[in-house]
């Protein structure tokens, strides 16, 4: 065995899957594993059930079902479309209204597709995965033809695998395959419109057509009325790739066919396809770094860098956004315009094109600002190398998250603007982006969400903790003023406090209003904390890359530093401090449990990765090797084992109480992670509560009722352990 009993076993000591005494729980739908799940669910209901759970679930359900929520909309032709769930529509309605009606206090909604009725008719628990609508040609629009053709994605029970069906927006019905409608069978993948009689199909087409992660390996051009199996291949990737897909940009005058080859997370290639689907077909790769993200808008190519790039005799730092005329770039020019360049405290978090402008949203120490960049107008024979005009969009605010999205990048300069803060309910507005010389326009607020809890005596504040290597780590604290800002520093507080984190995949955690957190926790005297640890995207790619692979420990050290800082500030004590995380955040919470148990009074681990020896062999796990490392490579396992909670668990060690939850339908992160960890800890006689929802996919719930129940379990568990 390993010389140090606190370290996980060496590779030679590690049991194989067959020798793992809890490996049988990886059989997702096996009779014995599901019997075990039912027994654990019954135990969880017995342990956590009661008046508190019922009341909490009802309070959360009221938030989720509220008719006063802001209906998020997308402009499609003359209508605004919205997908909506409430108490009467458990699975949801796809519906539409007019822009004028949407501005009213009580919009008149027309139902386009009723998922509850569809689920009942087909005896399937359909979950909405979205829709894409074909933009008519300029000639069709001039002739007054409607936006008619849609591709609707539906998932059984919320799994990542879904089906795609063609839908007629005029007749409000699915187009049967017998009438030539496009229907994609259940798999991970999708369809994308090329024209009204052709789609790109990237899906499981049989043996050899998926990657090792279970995603599409090929993209084909599927013509209406022909078998999918005979569709010509546009591109075929490697089995070790992550995902292959195709699409067509239909901006009039700038129609382009594209293939994207996702090699791994943070590595991809993008190809322009000429004469697609013909014997003369030719693919031209955009020669940018594999780690970069590219965007196309009319004449322009944008390149967002994750790493430094030497081009045209100049080095552009990672985190920058660059712009260039696409035709010039294809001709060999590397005379790039810097649209954004990060500093030690700033990062780019969003960019959206309108017809004439590019709006970028930027974080500075996790505070939002939005800027307008206007390229030279090439229709006036302007020099493509001329400076882009720069201005601001007046949408900022203290400790607020700002979202800016184009209403239509093809023919409008209008943008949707959302604002939300921990104590400020969300608003949705619209404004027209203007160029240089015109005064910026304040957004017109169209919708405001209600306040779901009384925040009059509450505050939100930002602090910084110091991690083990001296790095300053920001975090947000929300709660009653007397709890968040103790009056007497010499008398430590003991407020029940929940610390939440994620720390992966360059995803930032930003301020936002949550009626659920407010009702279930803040209004009942709890303090809520969000940690912006390394691995996330709060400071751009460098913040993410600082905790990749063998540097993963930094994310956990950052999180532990925030926990200690909360105690040092007199807000709470370890006995009253809980931690919560899901997915990659579940791996974070699992490491807090196994590496820092003395810092916490309770741990909530949701849809988690925990067995880092097996993760790459389970479902989509192989696609995350770039984030964590490859356990089948000895050098990688040497560091992976240091943050594999399943192997770090010590049956003789004392751990805080833990709640583990997952979903049987999660086909992204295997439910075996949570099952095996729970079983291992239970076998050691430790305090574990386990609950597995039968539906919900990686989101953990397929409808509002399930979401309310899953959330109520966590809040009830926490109140019972750290209050």
pTM as predicted: 0.92
Average pLDDT across each block of 10 residues of the chain; the chain has 723 residues. List them in order: 29 47 95 96 95 97 95 96 95 97 97 98 96 96 96 95 98 97 97 98 96 96 97 96 96 96 95 94 97 97 98 97 97 96 96 97 94 88 80 88 95 96 97 89 94 97 98 98 74 89 97 97 98 97 97 98 96 98 98 98 98 96 95 97 97 97 94 98 97 87 91 97 95
Question: Is residue 6, in this structure, part of any structural domain at all?
Answer: no
Q: Are 409 and 433 spatial neighbours (Cβ–Cβ below 8 Å)? A: no
Q: What is the rounded CA–CA span in Å between residue 415 and residue 528?
A: 32
Q: Where do runs of H (alpha helix) occur along 232-383?
A: 326-330
Question: Is residue 532, in this structure, part of any structural domain at all?
Answer: yes
Question: Catalytic residue among 544, 647, 670, 698, which?
Answer: 698
Question: Is residue 12, in this structure, part of any structural domain at all?
Answer: no
The CATH number of the domain where 557 resides is what? 3.40.50.1820
Q: What is the rounded CA–CA span in Å between residue 528 and residue 548?
A: 27
**Per-residue buried b or exposed e for 680-698, using 16+ beta carbons within 10 Å of the residue's own CB:** bbbeeebebbbbbbebbbb
**Residue that is written with structure tokens 């604002």 in the block:** 419
Question: Catalytic residue among 159, 347, 514, 583, which?
Answer: 583
CA 363 centroid distance within chain: 18
Closest CA to 93 of 75, 58, 67: 67
Q: What is the rounded CA–CA span in Å between residue 515 and residue 59?
A: 9
Q: What does the block give as tokens for 703?
A: 């409808």
Task: Look at strands 658-663 and 602-606 and give their pairing.
Answer: parallel
CA 521 centroid distance within chain: 24
Nearest-5° angle of CA 267, CA 269, CA 270? 140
Question: Is residue 582, in this structure, part of any structural domain at all?
Answer: yes
Give the C-alpha distances (Å, rounded to integers) separating 494 from 56, 416, 439, 527, 623.
23, 42, 50, 10, 42
Question: Is residue 663, in this structure, part of any structural domain at all?
Answer: yes
Strands across the sheet with 79-86, in order?
Answer: 74-76, 79-86, 89-97, 110-114
Q: Is 463 a residue of the active site?
A: no
Question: Is residue 372, in this structure, part of any structural domain at all?
Answer: no
- Name the CA dihedral angle for 319, 532, 405, 320, rounded to a multiple of 10 degrees: -10
Task: Look at strands 293-297 and 314-316 and give their pairing.
Answer: unpaired
Nearest-5° angle of CA 403, CA 63, CA 700? 80
Q: What is the pLDDT of residue 489?
A: 54
Question: Is residue 676, in this structure, part of any structural domain at all?
Answer: yes
Q: Are 366 and 462 spatial neighbours (Cβ–Cβ below 8 Å)? A: yes
H-helix or E-strand containing 296? strand 293-297
Q: What is the rounded CA–CA span in Å between residue 642 and residue 286?
A: 39
Tell me if residue 583 falls in helix, strand or coil: coil
Q: Which residues pair with 325 in a beta bridge?
A: 300
Q: Is 583 a residue of the active site?
A: yes
HEC secondary structure over 83-96: EEEECCEEEEEEEE
**Per-residue buried b or exposed e for 323-349, using 16+ beta carbons within 10 Å of the residue's own CB:** bbbbebbeeeeeebbebbebeeebbbb
Residue 206, judged by CB atoms within 10 A of its CB (0-12, 13-18, 19+), counts as exposed
Q: What is the pLDDT of residue 7?
A: 29
Q: Where do runs of H (alpha helix) occur along 123-170?
A: 138-142
CB neighbour list of residue 171: distance below 8 Å, 6 or more residues apart = none
Q: What is the rounded CA–CA span in Å between residue 588 and residue 596?
A: 11
Q: What is the rounded CA–CA span in Å between residue 153 and residue 190?
A: 8
Question: Is residue 458, in this structure, part of any structural domain at all?
Answer: yes
**Residue that is written with structure tokens 């720390």 in the block:** 503
Give the C-alpha distances (Å, rounded to integers) separating 550 from 471, 609, 630, 714.
17, 17, 11, 31
Number of structural domains (the chain) is 1
Q: What is the pLDDT of residue 385?
A: 74
Closest CA to 419 of 393, 455, 437: 393
Using left for φ > 0, alpha for ψ between -120 and 50, and beta otherwise, residue 365 falls in: left
* Domain encompassing residue 44: 17-61+452-722
Kindly state the DSSP code that residue 443 receives in the 8-state scheme.
P
Q: Are 604 and 627 spatial neighbours (Cβ–Cβ below 8 Å)? A: no
Supply φ then ψ for residue 258, to 5 degrees. -130, 145
Q: What is the rounded CA–CA span in Å between residue 499 and residue 556?
A: 13
Using left for φ > 0, alpha for ψ between -120 and 50, and beta otherwise, residue 180 falls in: left
Q: What is the pLDDT of residue 485?
A: 79
Q: What is the pLDDT of residue 56?
A: 97
H-helix or E-strand containing 115? helix 115-122
């Amino acid at each position: 065995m390993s010389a140090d009993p606190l370290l996980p076993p060496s590779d030679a000591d590690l049991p194989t899957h067959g020798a793992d005494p809890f490996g049988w729980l990886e059989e997702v739908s096996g009779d014995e594993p599901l019997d075990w799940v039912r027994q654990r669910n019954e135990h969880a209901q017995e342990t956590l059930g009661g008046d508190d759970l019922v009341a909490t679930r009802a309070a959360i359900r009221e938030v989720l079902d509220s008719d006063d929520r802001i209906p998020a909309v997308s402009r499609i032709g003359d209508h605004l479309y919205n997908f909506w769930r409430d108490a009467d529509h458990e699975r949801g309605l796809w519906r539409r209204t007019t822009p004028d009606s949407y501005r009213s206090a009580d919009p008149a909604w027309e139902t386009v597709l009723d998922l509850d009725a569809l689920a009942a008719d087909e005896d399937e628990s359909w979950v909405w995965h979205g829709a894409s609508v074909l933009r008519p040609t300029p000639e069709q629009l001039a002739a007054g033809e409607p936006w008619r053709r849609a591709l609707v994605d539906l998932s059984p029970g919320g799994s990542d695998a879904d089906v795609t069906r063609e839908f007629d927006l005029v007749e409000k019905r699915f187009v049967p395959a017998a009438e030539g409608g496009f229907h994609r069978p259940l798999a991970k993948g999708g369809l994308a419109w090329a024209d009204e009689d052709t789609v790109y199909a990237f899906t499981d087409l049989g043996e050899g057509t998926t990657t090792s992660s279970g995603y599409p390996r090929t993209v084909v051009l599927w013509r209406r009325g022909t078998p999918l199996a005979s569709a010509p291949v546009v591109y075929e990737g490697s089995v070790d790739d992550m995902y292959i897909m195709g699409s067509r940009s239909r901006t009039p005058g700038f129609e382009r066919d594209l293939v994207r080859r996702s090699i791994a997370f943070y590595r991809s290639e993008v190809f322009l396809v000429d004469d697609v689907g013909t014997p003369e077909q030719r693919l031209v790769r955009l020669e940018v770094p594999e780690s970069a993200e590219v965007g196309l808008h009319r004449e322009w190519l944008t390149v967002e860098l994750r790493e430094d790039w030497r081009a045209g005799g100049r080095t552009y730092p990672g985190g920058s956004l660059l712009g260039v005329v696409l035709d010039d770039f294809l001709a060999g020019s590397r005379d790039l315009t810097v649209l954004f360049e990060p500093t030690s405290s700033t990062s780019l978090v969003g960019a959206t094109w309108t017809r004439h402008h590019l709006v970028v949203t930027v974080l500075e120490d996790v505070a939002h600002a939005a800027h307008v960049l206007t390229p030279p107008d090439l229709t006036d024979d302007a020099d493509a190398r001329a400076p882009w005009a720069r201005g601001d969009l007046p949408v900022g605010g203290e400790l607020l998250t700002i979202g800016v999205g184009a209403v239509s990048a093809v023919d409008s300069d209008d943008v949707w603007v959302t604002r939300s803060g921990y104590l400020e309910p969300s608003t949705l507005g619209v404004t027209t982006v203007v160029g240089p010389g015109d005064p910026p326009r304040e957004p017109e607020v169209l919708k405001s969400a209600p306040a779901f809890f009384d925040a009059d005596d509450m505050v939100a504040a930002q602090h910084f903790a110091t991690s083990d290597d001296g790095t300053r780590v920001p975090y947000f604290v929300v709660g009653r003023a007397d709890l968040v800002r103790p009056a007497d520093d010499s008398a430590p507080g003991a407020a029940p406090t929940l610390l939440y984190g994620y720390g992966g995949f360059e995803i930032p955690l930003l301020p936002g209003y949550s009626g659920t957190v407010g009702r279930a926790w803040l209004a009942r005297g709890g303090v809520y904390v969000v940690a912006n640890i390394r691995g996330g995207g709060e400071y751009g790619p460098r913040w993410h890359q600082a905790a990749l692979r063998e540097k993963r420990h930094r994310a956990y050290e950052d999180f532990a530093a925030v926990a200690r800082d909360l105690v040092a500030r007199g807000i709470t004590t370890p006995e009253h401090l809980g931690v919560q995380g899901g997915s990659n955040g579940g791996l974070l919470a699992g490491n807090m449990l196994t590496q820092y148990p003395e810092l916490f009074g309770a741990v909530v681990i949701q849809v988690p990765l925990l067995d880092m020896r097996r993760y790459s062999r389970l479902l989509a796990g192989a696609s995350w090797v770039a984030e964590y490392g490859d356990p089948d490579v000895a050098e990688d396992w040497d560091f992976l084992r240091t943050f594999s909670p399943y192997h770090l668990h010590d049956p003789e060690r004392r751990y805080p109480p833990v709640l583990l939850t997952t979903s049987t339908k999660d086909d992204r992160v295997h439910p075996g992670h949570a099952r095996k960890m729970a079983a291992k800890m239970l076998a050691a006689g430790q305090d574990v509560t386990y609950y597995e929802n039968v539906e919900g996919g990686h989101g953990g719930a397929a409808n509002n009722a399930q979401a309310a129940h899953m959330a109520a379990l966590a809040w009830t568990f926490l109140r019972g352990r750290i209050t």
